[in-house]
Amino acid sequence: MSRLELRVPEAGAGERLDRFLAAAQPDLSRSRLQALIRAGRVTVSGRPGRASRRLRAGERVLVELPEPRERAAALAPEAIPLAVVHEDEHLLVLDKPAGLVVHPGAGVATGTLAHALLHHAPQVAGVGGATRPGIVHRLDKQTSGLMVVAKTPAAHRALVELLRTRAVRRRYLAIVWGLPRAASGTIEGPIGRDPRRRQRMAVVRRGGKPARTRWRVRERLGGAALLEVALDTGRTHQIRVHLAHVGHPVVGDPLYGGRGRGGLSGTAGERSLRAAVLEALPRQALHAAGLDFPHPVTGAAMSFTSPPPEDFERALESLRASAAGGAAGVPR
C-alpha cells in the first residue's frame, strides 16, 4: 500500500474532489479514481471523501493506492547507470535514455528506472509509493530526455502540486511526418482509451481527460518537420496522440502511424528515405529537451536542457540531406 498526500491550494478551492485528483494524478484513470473514492481510500481532512465534494484551501487529501498483486513485493535496487544532470538533497534531474521503462508494469518486473533510483539514492524508497519511488511524472519507454525525481516526501508533495498547477514547463522535440501548414498551433482534444484498440489512447468524444498541446515548427525537412512541443497537460501518450490526430504522426511511432508512409508519397526514392530514417531511429522521434520549474523547497528557478541523442540526430541528418537534394519531392 502506498499513500499519496496532497494539500489543496488557494487555486483549488471550490473544485470537486474527483476533478482535483484527476488533475493532480494524470497517470490514474478516471475510473480508478472513482473506484478508490467509492472504496473509501480517499480521505479529506481525515474523513472519507465523496467525488462531488467541494474542496477548501488548505485541506489535506490522502489517497491510499493498493499495490497490484504481482507488484506488491518491494523493489530491489539495481545498478543501472543513470545520466544525472543535477542533484541536491531534495531532488535529482536525470536524462533518461530511450528504451528504459520508468517503473514496473504489465510484463516488466525488473530493469526499470525505479530500480536504478533505489541503487543511486536509497533514500527514495517509499517516497510516493513502493513501485514508483520518487517518481512524479513519466516518459514513455522509447522517449528520451529530462525527468525530475523527488528524494524526500516533502519534495514529492511539492513537485506533484507544481505539476498540477502547471508550474513545471516541459519542452519536447519531435520529428513528424508531413509539413504543417502553419508555423505554430495548439491542439486541444480530450484523451481517453481508444474504444477500438484498447492498447492505444485516442482523442475521444466521451470520457476523455482534457488535453492541450502547443507546437511550433523548428525546421522543415522535405516530407517531414522538426517541431518544438510544449505540454499544458500531461496525459498518457499525449504528444503522440495529438500529433497523429492532426495528421502528423511522430516519425517511428509504431502505435500511432509513425512507421507508415507519413508525408512521403511512395516513390522508390521516398521509400528508401523512409527506410533510412527508421533504421537510424528505430523508435519514436520524441525527446524531452527542456525542463523548467521552481525548486520545490527553495523556490529558486531551475532550468535544464538536453541535446537530442545520437539516433535522433542521425534521423535529422538523413532528412536534411534528402531535403537539400530535393529527393523527397515535396515543397518545403
C-alpha cell at 88: 541536491
Q: Is 140 a catalytic residue?
A: yes
Rounded Cα distance, 98 and 83, in Å: 12
pLDDT band at 71 (very low <50, low <70, confident <90, very high): very low
Rounded Cα distance, 91 and 289, in Å: 19
Residue 128, exposed/middle/buried by CB under 10 A (0-12, 13-18, 19+)?
A: buried
Task: Give the residue from 152, 151, 129 showing the smallest Cα distance to 25.
Answer: 129
Least confident of 20-29, 35-44, 321-330: 321-330
What digits encode the pLDDT tens for the residues 98-157?
A: 999 998 877 778 899 999 999 999 999 989 888 889 999 999 999 999 999 999 999 999
3-state SS class at 258: coil
pLDDT band at 27 (very low <50, low <70, confident <90, very high): low
Least confident of 224-233, 272-281, 318-327: 318-327
Q: CA dihedral defined by 260, 280, 117, 235, rounded to 10 degrees?
A: -30
Mean pLDDT of 71-97: 89
Q: What is the β-pairing status of strands 144-150 and 286-294?
A: parallel
Rounded Cα distance, 222 and 332, in Å: 5
Rounded Cα distance, 28 and 201, in Å: 14
3-state SS class at 135: strand
Sheet of strand 42-44: strand arrangement: 2-7, 60-65, 42-44, 47-48
Query: How far, CA to CA in Å, does 181 sit from each of 105, 178, 185?
Result: 39, 9, 10
Task: Give the residue from 218, 139, 145, 211 showing the smallest Cα distance to 175.
Answer: 218
pLDDT, position 316 = 94
Amino acid at 151: K
3-state SS class at 33: helix
pLDDT, position 17 = 92
- Where do the domains of the chain lie, and which CATH numbers do they carry? 2-64 (3.10.290.10), 76-164 (3.30.2350.10), 169-293+305-325 (3.30.2350.10)
What digits encode the pLDDT tens for the residues 192-208?
A: 988 888 778 999 988 88
Strands, E assignment, 152-295: 169-177, 184-188, 191-193, 201-203, 212-221, 224-231, 286-294
First to last CA, the chain: 54
Mean pLDDT of 301-325: 92
Share of the chain above pLDDT 70, in %: 90
Mean pLDDT of 288-294: 97
Cβ-contact 243, 36 below 8 angstroms: no
Least confident of 1-5, 56-60, 125-129, 167-171: 1-5
Query: Active site residue: 27, 88, 95, 140, which one?
Result: 140
pLDDT band at 164 (very low <50, low <70, confident <90, very high): confident
Strands, E assignment, 20-120: 42-44, 47-48, 60-65, 84-87, 91-96
pTM: 0.77
DSSP category for residue 139 = -
pLDDT band at 305 (very low <50, low <70, confident <90, very high): very high
